[in-house]
Every structure is written in structure tokens, then in C-alpha cells.
Amino acid sequence: MSQDSLLVNEKGARTGKLVITSSLLKGPVPKPWLTQPARYSWVPRYLFLLICSLGLLGGAFQIYFGLKSVPKLGNVCLVLDEQFDGDSLDTSIWTREVALDGWGNGEFEWSTDSGNNSRVEDGMLYIVPTLTEDVIGHDNVFDGYNLTLNDCTSGNSTTCWVYSNATAGTIINPVQSARLSTRLSRSVKYGRIEVRARLPRGDWLWPAIWMMPKDSMYGPWPRSGEIDIIESRGNGPSYPAQGSDWLSSTLHWGPAPLLDGYWRTTGWWNDKHLTFDEGFHTYTLEWDDKFL
């Protein structure tokens, strides 16, 4: 027997049928929200637009004041425009340093004036490292060879010769390369320096574009300052201590080498998309009496 059969009608008779009164409204159902919009429906719309506008305005302010805060140089006049479009290096402008002195960095290069290491070709200056053993032979690099630079440009003549002695562990600088300078021809105090260059790729290479004081007015390094426009490394981008996808710029200054305050004035740039040996870039320094 189902439960239905237990139901009874008003007269007490069993009906066996469930009677449920419908609660459905009869006739057309009013739906006012379809014809007239809610009273404050404009609020969220305008709030959204307001917040968007504030964001855009904030961005515009940030860009404007960011750009405005970048100092600008006044007029500058041309001191040197070197396009390397001659047949050879213009030695009235450039001095090829000839030295074995390590240049304060422990460099093991022999800086030469050889066309093997620096030459002008196709409107470009090439700086090319080579192996010293190609010139003096492998064994001489390591023992029994007295290398004396007759055309040495180092201010310290004791760094103009080296004797290889296997017993003493002294070797001839094993790599030849070039260090070129305008120190005898042109110099600037304040202005813009632009160097368009492609950096090299290869372990042990340290490309650098530096400015040194012409006259060390305030004394020996670092008292008279040094502006390193850029330095990088030839190692690939996987090199953990900054490879060819990194550049750094530094000022060296202070009363003594041990008190060089460079760590306050050094910075790095890492490019996530390229390495600096892949193509040419213009490296620029702007400098006046208030900023660098």
C-alpha cells in the first residue's frame, strides 16, 4: 500500500490522490528591472572609469617626472669625431700603449703597437688578442727569455722588461693585445662621450672603455679619479660572475688605493635578451659639474 491511500478528503473519504495548491502567480508577472535600470547602476561604471583614469594619470605623472629628473647637458661642441674611415690608425689621435705593467688590474697582456693587435679596416677599429708564443715561441714564454720593450710607453720603466725564469716562476705576458688612448691628443672635462662598439666573446677577455685623468692634478690613482664608462667580460652568459650579458660602470676616487670609494659609485646592467658581443651598441657618458 502506498502512502497516498492514507490521504482523505473533507468528507473523510479516502482519495488516494495528493492535492497540492499551486503557488504560481496567475497572469503577467511584473519585471520592473527590465524596463527601468536600477537607481545607482551608474556608480560602479563611473567608479571603474575613475580608477582607470587615476591609474593612467598616475602613470603619466610618473613618466613625466621620471623624464624630468634625468639631467640634461647644455650645448656641447665637438672635440673628436673618429669614424675610423682611414686606411690605418690615425696616430696623431691615438696612442698605442706598449707595456707589460698589468695596468693596475693584474692583466697578463702585453699591450703592443702591432697591427696584429689593433688595426683599422672597413671603417672600424679592431682590437685583437693573440698569443705571445706565436711571436717568441712557446718555450721562451716560460723560461730563459729576456723581453725588453724599446718603445715602452709605461711611466714606470721597471715594467718595461720581463725575464722568463721557470725556477722563479716568472713568465712573459702570454697574451698580446692593445690598449689605445687619446691621452696625448684629446681630452674633455664635461660633455658627452659616445662609443659605438661590439664587445668580444671569449674567456679571459675584459673589454673596457675607460677615462683616465690626463693630468693627475690631485695625485696618483685614485686621487685624480677614473671614469669607467663600461666594462664587461667575454665569458658567455652562463658565467656566474657576470658574463657578456652584463655591463658595469664605475667611478674610482678617494685618497688612497685602499680607500677607493668605487663601491658607492658602481652599477650593473644585465640584459635579459642579448649579449653585448652579438652586435654594436652605443655606450654613452654624459657629464657636467652636477652629474655623471
Ligand X SMILES: *[C@@H]1O[C@H](CO)[C@@H](O)[C@H](O)[C@H]1NC(C)=O
User: Which residues of the shown chain bind ligand X in the complex (CB under 6 A)?
Assistant: 114, 116, 134-135, 146, 148, 156, 158-159, 161, 163, 165, 167-168
Smallest distance, ligand X to C-beta of residue 292, A: 28
Residue number, 58 or 202, with CB nearest to ligand X: 202
Residue with cell 686606411: 87
Residue 59 has φ and ψ, to the nearest 5°, of: -60, -45
- Compare residues 83 and 167 and give the one whose CB is closer to ligand X: 167
Q: Which is nearer to ligand X, 49 or 131 (CB)?
A: 131
Do residues 35 and 249 make contact, with C-beta atoms less than 8 angstroms apart? Answer: no
Kindly state the helix (H) or strand (E) to which residue 130 belongs, with its residue range.
strand 130-131
Query: Of 97, 107, 109, 231, which residue is the catalytic one?
Result: 231
Show the cell assigned to 118.
689593433
Q: Which of 82, 133, 226, 286 is catalytic?
A: 226
Location of C-alpha cell 674567456: 203
- CA 4 distance to own-chain centroid: 87
Q: How far is the CB of 178 from ligand X (least distance, A)?
A: 11
Cα distance between residue 48 and residue 51, in whole Å: 5
CB of 225 to ligand X, least distance (A): 18
Q: For residue 231, indicate whether it is catalytic.
A: yes
Residue 223: CB minimum distance to ligand X, A: 14
Nearest approach in angstroms of CB 264 to ligand X is: 26
Residue closer to ligand X by CB (options 63, 131) is 131
Tell me if residue 192 falls in helix, strand or coil.
strand
Q: How far apart are CA 283 and CA 207, in angstroms?
A: 13
Three-class DSSP category at 65: helix
Angle (nearest 5°) at CA 193 between 212 and 248: 65
**C-alpha span between 170 and 156 (Å, rounded):** 19
Instruction: Examine the residue annotation and report whether 286 is marked as an active-site residue of this protein.
Output: no
Which is nearer to ligand X, 177 or 250 (by Cβ)?
Answer: 177
**Angstrom distance (rounded) from CA 90 to CA 54:** 58
Catalytic positions are: 226, 231
